[in-house]
Amino acid sequence: MTTLERIRNGETGILVIGNHPGIVQSILDFDHLAGKPASIVCIIASTRKAQKFFFGPKEILIPCYRSVADVPQKDTSRVKWMLNMQSGRRVYESTVVFFQRFPEALGGHLFAENIPEIHATELVKTHGQKYVIAGPSGVGLLVPGHMKLGAIGGIGAAQLVQGKLTTPGNIAVVSTSGGMTNELITAVAGAGKRVSFSLCIGGDRFPVTSLSDVLLMAQNDANTEGIVYFGELGGVDEYEIVELLKQGKLTKPILCYIAGVIDEAFDEHMQFGHAKALVAHLGESAREKREALASAGAIAPETFPQFLAAMRGLPESPRGDTVSDINVYMQRASSILSTRHIVDLDAVPEFVKNGALVPQEQNGFAAATLKALIGRDVSDVTAAFVENIFELLMDHGGHVSGAVNTMITARAGKDMVSSLAAGLLTIGPRFGGAVNEAARAWYEGAASKVSAKEFVENKTKEGKLLAGIGHRKYRVGIPDPRVAALAEFTKLLSAHPHYDFARAIEGVTTGKNGNLILNVDGVMAAVLLDILAEKEEMDTAALRELVDTEFFNALFIIPRSVGFIAHFMEQKKNDEGLFRLPDELLFERDEDRDAE
C-alpha cells in the first residue's frame, strides 16, 4: 500500500513540534470541513499542558508535552506524521528524535527555511528514502478530503473552501514554492479541476524528498491523472522531470511553468526569493529549463496566463463538492476560561430517582458531616436530604464567581489551598450565602406569624431582597425540577411550617413577576428547617442558633469546595498559562484615556 493510499485509509494522526496556532487551527478546520475526526494528536511545547483550539464551532483542548518521549503510549499508534514548526537550527535534532520515537511513521513537514545545509543533506541521506518529508522551507502536504499537513491550501476557512479541498480529485500539484503551491491549488479549482494530492518540495537548496520521488508518487497514484508543476530559475530540479519523461517513467500529462525569465533583463544574474533561485550555472535559466521540458514532452507554456489556460485541458475531475457554511468558522470567539461542568446541573436527587430514601450506608459522608456540625447522630431522613443537597451544590459550572476566582488563581501558578481559598473568599451575600439568609427569612417569618403578604411588604420597605426567591431560567409554568424533587421530602413529615411559609411567599412574589419562584436555595433552607424540627426534635432556639452560626452556609461551602478543587485540578491539568482578559472585554473610561 502506497503512502497516499495509507493516508486515504485514515493514517493521518499528526504530532506538532513547536508552535504555530494559525496553522494548527487551519488543519483542524480542514478536518471538520472534510467530516473527519481531528488529526492533531498532540503538540510538543515546553510551557503548557494543553492548548485551546476550535473544532468546528466548539472549543477543544489539544494536549501538550515537553518532549516526544513524553507522549503517552495510548497515543503512539495514532501518530503517523510530524509537523515540525521549530527554527532552522533546531529542526534536525527534533526530526531525528521524532523518527526514533515513531519509526513506523509515514513522514512529515519541515516548515522552517534556511536549515543548515549540512543538516538538510544528512536528513536526505538518512530519512529521504524511507519517509515522505515536505520541505525544508515550504507549506507541506495535502490530500484533499483526508489530510492537511502544514499551511498548504491556506490557513483561512474561506481559502480551504475556495480550493475545494474537501473533494478528492485527480490533478497533482507540485512546486518548490510554498506561496505558488497554494496559488496553484486555487487555480486548479478555478479551472474546474480538483486536486488529488499536493506536495510543496520546499525552496531550500536540499529538499529531503526529491522532485523525482514526488513525481513518481503521482505516476503510481491511481487517483492522479495529471500533474501541474511550478518551478523557477536556478537549480536543476526540472531536469529530473526531463529525465523521467525521456526514460518513460513519467507518462501522465504534466503541465509546467518556470518563472524567472525577467532575470534576462539584468546585466548580471539576480538572487530571487528562495535559496536556489539564482542562475549559477549553465542550463539554470528559466528559458533553458522551459525549452528542455517542452522538448521532453511536457506542456510548458511561455506565459503564466497561457499556463492557467492550459489547466483546462487536463483530464476532467470528479465533482460532488461539499457545500460548507464558513460563517461557522468566521464568527467563533474563544471562551475566557476553558472549563467543564463538574456535575450534571439538570440532575435530580437520588431520592426521586429511587422513589424511596437512599439507604443509610450511601449517606455516610452526609451523616458524618452532620454529626460533626451538630454534635450527634442524625436520622436517615436528615442524612438523605443533606446528601442530596451535597450532590446539587457541588458545582454550578465554571462561570460562577467562586469557580472563576479559583481557576484564575490556579492559572497564576498558585497551589490548591490558595486557589481554593480564593474561591471560598468569594462566598457572601451575592454568591453562596443565600441558603443561610433564606433559612433566616423562613425561620423569622414562620415564628412571627405575620402573613406572607405583610412579610414581603416589610422586606420591600426595608429595601431588602428575599433570599431563596427568583430564578433566571425557571418561572411559573416552567418549574425547576430540583425544587420539586427536594420538596418530595415534605411527604415524610407530619408538618412543614417553614416550607409552607416559603410557598406562601412564592405565591405573593410570583403575582408580581413570574420568575420570582421559590428556588433551590429557598427550598433547601425551608425543608431542612422542618426536617431538623421534626426528625431531630430541635426547638425554635436550637434552629435560631443554627441560623446565627451559619450552619446552612456550611452545607453550601462543604460540597462547593469539592467543585472548586475539581476546577483547580482541571486548570492545572490543562495548564493554559496565566489568565488575562482580552482587551476587547475591558471597559476603559474616557477620563482614564484623557489622563494618559
Dist. CA 531–CA 376, nearest whole Å: 15
> Mean pLDDT throughout 116-140?
96
Domain boundary among 300, 319, 338: 319
- Residues in a beta bridge with 259: 232
**Is residue 588 domain-resident?**
no
How many residues can be counted in the chain?
596
| 497 Cβ contact partners less than 8 Å away, ≥ 6 residues apart | 446, 530
The pLDDT score that the predictor gives to residue 150 is 98
pTM here? 0.73
Model confidence at 588: pLDDT above 80: no
Dist. CA 175–CA 238, nearest whole Å: 11
Q: What 3-state class would DSSP assign to 19?
A: coil
189 and 93 share one domain? yes
311 and 407 share one domain? no
- Residues in a beta bridge with 84: 17, 110
Short-list 77, 114, 73, 70, CA closest to 92: 114
DSSP state of 248: T
Mean pLDDT of the chain: 89
**Is residue 164 domain-resident?**
yes
355 and 212 share one domain? no
Per-residue pLDDT reduced to its tens digit, 391-416: 888 988 888 999 999 999 999 999 99
Kindly indicate the confidence band of residue 218, based on its pLDDT and cuts at 50, 70 and 90: very high
Model confidence at 586: pLDDT above 90: no
| Beta carbons of 545 and 532 less than 8 angstroms apart | no
**Is residue 498 domain-resident?**
yes
263 and 311 share one domain? yes
Model confidence at 358: pLDDT above 70: no
Half-sphere exposure of 111 (CA within 13 A, CB side): 18
Annotated catalytic residues are 274
Short-list 462, 447, 459, 435, CA closest to 512: 459
Model confidence at 319: pLDDT above 70: yes
What CATH number is given to the structural domain containing 207?
A: 3.40.50.261
283 and 418 share one domain? no
404 and 274 share one domain? no
Per-residue pLDDT reduced to its tens digit, 161-197: 999 999 999 999 999 999 999 999 999 999 999 999 9
246 and 128 share one domain? yes
Kindly indicate the confidence band of residue 47, based on its pLDDT and cuts at 50, 70 and 90: confident
Kindly indicate the confidence band of residue 343, based on its pLDDT and cuts at 50, 70 and 90: low
**Is residue 46 domain-resident?**
yes
126 and 247 share one domain? yes
71 and 128 share one domain? yes
Dist. CA 234–CA 475, nearest whole Å: 75
The pLDDT score that the predictor gives to residue 339 is 77
Model confidence at 595: pLDDT above 50: no
**Is residue 324 domain-resident?**
no
DSSP state of 492: G
Residue that wins the pLDDT comparison between 359 and 365: 365
390 and 476 share one domain? yes
The pLDDT score that the predictor gives to residue 430 is 81
Residue that wins the pLDDT comparison between 583 and 556: 556
197 and 298 share one domain? yes
478 and 427 share one domain? yes
> Mean pLDDT throughout 55-68?
93
* Range(s) of the domain holding residue 373: 350-574
The pLDDT score that the predictor gives to residue 281 is 46
**Is residue 582 domain-resident?**
no
> Mean pLDDT throughout 40-55?
90
The pLDDT score that the predictor gives to residue 364 is 85
**Is residue 476 domain-resident?**
yes
The pLDDT score that the predictor gives to residue 368 is 92
Report how far apart the first and last C-alpha atoms of the chain are (Å, whole number): 66
Model confidence at 355: pLDDT above 70: no
Per-residue pLDDT reduced to its tens digit, 499-518: 999 999 999 999 999 999 99
Residue that wins the pLDDT comparison between 586 and 529: 529
Kindly indicate the confidence band of residue 573, based on its pLDDT and cuts at 50, 70 and 90: confident
Count of domains forming the chain: 2
Among all chains, which residue has been given the C-alpha cell 507540485?
Answer: 174
The pLDDT score that the predictor gives to residue 27 is 98
Residue that wins the pLDDT comparison between 584 and 30: 30
**Is residue 342 domain-resident?**
no
